[in-house]
Amino acid sequence: MRSSLSENRTLTNWVRVLTGGHLDSIGPEIVVTPNGPYEVTGDLDITPKHTVLSSQDEPLTWATEGTLPSGSSTFLCRCGHSSNKPFCDGTHLKVNFDGTETASTESFSQQAKTYESPGLTVHRVGQICEHASFCANKTTDWYQMLPESDDATVRGQIIGMIEHCPSGALIYEIDGEPIEPDFPQAVSPVEDGPLWVTGRVKITRSDGLALETRNRVTLCRCGNSANKPLCDGTHVKIGFVAKTPRAALAGDLPKETEDPASPGVARRIVFGLSASTNAETYTVAAMVAKAALSELVVVHVGTEGEQSERLLSDAGEIFERSGIPHDRITSNLLTGHPSTSLALGADDVDAGLIIVGRGGDKVGKVPHKVSYHAPCDVLLVSGGSRSDAYQRILIATDGSATADRAAKRGYALARALGASVDLVFVGHPATGDLIVSDTIRDVGSGVATETWFLEGDPVRRILKKASDVDADLIVVGNKGMTRTRMLLGNSVPGGVLKGARSDVLLCRTVRQLESELEPGEGGVIERHGEQLAAYVDEEGELHLMSARCTHLGCVVGWDPTEESFECPCHGSRFSPTGELLSGPATKPLRPI
């Protein structure tokens, strides 16, 4: 703390920053993801801090606890519920975190209230105060001291208080020049408090708008600020606890931070690339990959050579410019039949989603075949223009287990994008009311939903409602999309795909992916052509059994209500790890 400003006229360790600064940050950036974590990119140190208290519990200064490991793209918890703070572990998806941003994009100078005195001028924006309490002590505060700031000692004390303010809610100027401490570029998780960002790091909201780049700012990480993404001190009121993770200082970057993608959307997305891929398909792929924090695998089926290499290189540059980190983009050149190779390529990388252009108003041959033979979900993108993000998603359900899985995927995508849902049931309204209520309760909590009960031909009613509400995306399960029905053209998902003018997400509702299974969840997966019953226990260990019932060989299915595998043919039931629970089978499932 300075006793006299005259001793520091050269301001050796200070920089002069206008409160309404207009220079953009170069290098590191923090991006607020929709209803998700903060994505930190670039060379930015993560340095935990805590306050040093006096014997009277007054804050004296800040102490740094070292530097946490980080990658070129690191995700920090914003919801306040991660068990691996400060890193994200995906819990925001389970708690349906609402990260709606309400902080003003106006500059500090536009919002600030000014307090003038003979020796000092102070500017304050109260709504960004994080209540670190450096601006006051047991007997007084900066405001009470300000009238006496012509005294060098008092002025030095006020300056010391303001310099320790992490949020920059208080700044001061002398002789008309705003003065700021010289902070390094860093993001500091404050013990039991916010993320303290210093050194003029660029911060971008989830809608792409940039907050004013400032020398210091605090971001909410308790999940309860009324001024998101900025901290407003609510963590103090609710007793938020986030201790400095000292044990992690010498460790590697946690796995959850390397791969925090939504398990409800897709950890890995395959982008089907051709010379005719339109800009809309790029836009949708980038939108989904960024919202779901997914890896993006760009796949082109063609011949080796300069043209294919240039096509893949250009695609990678487009996705990087859209905001996807370089280390989350890979490219694969495959040969063979386009639809078959694309499906096999997705299977090889354990992709949860393929995104491909549908080829105009009518579905082209390649995307049409991909939609029938893909080992995972397929999002077919139309060629029409739209806003940057899906605003309205229509999900069709009939209450079946397969439709429930499609609804789960659709709601996960809506949650990641901040979109609303139109939940459509075609059938008897009395039955539909119960089914729709169960669907919203089980997978739709936290998402704005409008329900529709329709009667008549499912394909026509779904398409008509999608047109009426101007849906950006239709979500249906792919049940019934066999080759026979493809040739006859009489499956509901096939009819929707053929007639839709919006994008269509076809959810694979029979086979699951091993990577989709969460602790306590089972399902049927496929390995080397064999169907396996798979269960992930609460410790994360994978248990594999043959999916063939030991009675007559039917393929069992996972019953999430009973948390067991059940044979659809004669009702035999098996525990999550394959033990026999009830007959007519007499033996457990064969372990793998």
**Same structural domain, 424 and 322:** no
**Same structural domain, 219 and 305:** no
Average pLDDT over residues 390-404: 81
Token pair, residue 111, equals 């919002």
Cα torsion 494, 496, 498, 500 to 10°: value is -160
**Same structural domain, 51 and 186:** yes
Which of 317-326, 354-363, 515-524, 551-560 has the lowest average pLDDT?
354-363
**Same structural domain, 278 and 312:** yes
**Same structural domain, 167 and 68:** yes
Residues 135-150 pLDDT 10s? 888 788 888 888 888 8
Give the domain CATH number at 532. 2.102.10.10
| pTM passes above 0.75 | no
Residues 257-293 pLDDT 10s? 434 445 467 788 999 888 888 888 888 888 888 888 8
Could you tell me the residue range of the domain that residue 280 belongs to? Answer: 268-381
Average pLDDT over residues 43-64: 83
**Same structural domain, 425 and 288:** no
- pLDDT band at 363, cuts 50/70/90? very low
**Which one of 255, 276, 293 terminates a domain?**
255
Residue 7 confidence (pLDDT) above 50: no
**Same structural domain, 53 and 146:** yes
**Same structural domain, 282 and 238:** no
Residues 99-116 pLDDT 10s? 999 888 888 888 889 998
**Same structural domain, 274 and 241:** no
Tell me the DSSP string of 398-427: -SSHHHHHHHHHHHHHHHHHT-EEEEEEES
Please tell me the distance from the alpha carbon of residue 480 to that of residue 468, in angstroms, as a whole number: 26
Let me know if residue 1 belongs to a domain.
no
**Which one of 329, 346, 381 terminates a domain?**
381
Strand partners, 113: 124
Please give the sequence-ordered ranges of beta strands (E in DSSP) within 16-157, or none if there are none. 29-32, 38-41, 45-46, 49-53, 59-64, 73-76, 113-116, 121-124
Please tell me the distance from the alpha carbon of residue 150 to that of residue 536, in angstroms, as a whole number: 68
Tell me the DSSP string of 336-395: S-HHHHHHHHHHHTT-SEEEEE--SSSPPHHHHHHHHH-SSEEEEE-SS---SS--EEEE
Tell me the DSSP string of 290-332: HHHT-EEEEEEES-SSHHHHHHHHHHHHHHHHTT--GGGEEEE
**Which one of 255, 283, 309 terminates a domain?**
255
DSSP 209: P
**Three-state DSSP class for 451?**
strand
Label residue 35 exposed, middle or buried (CB < 10 Å: 0-12, 13-18, 19+).
Answer: buried
**Same structural domain, 135 and 162:** yes
Spatial contact of 128 and 227, defined as CB atoms under 8 Å apart: yes
Domain count for the chain, please give it.
4
Give the domain CATH number at 287. 3.40.50.620
Strand partners, 453: 425
Average pLDDT over residues 535-539: 86
Q: Which residues of 2-12 are buried (b: 16+ CB within 10 A; e: fewer)?
A: eeebeeeeeee
Spatial contact of 383 and 539, defined as CB atoms under 8 Å apart: no
**Same structural domain, 372 and 288:** yes
Q: How many CB atoms lie within 10 A of CB 499?
A: 17
Let me know if residue 2 belongs to a domain.
no
Predicted pLDDT at 528:
58
Name residues whose C-beta falls within 8 Å of residue 238's C-beta, 6 or more positions apart in sequence. Answer: 222, 224
Residue 190 CA: distances (Å) to CA of 63, 93, 204, 270, 275: 10, 24, 21, 38, 49
Let me know if residue 10 belongs to a domain.
no
Let me know if residue 325 belongs to a domain.
yes
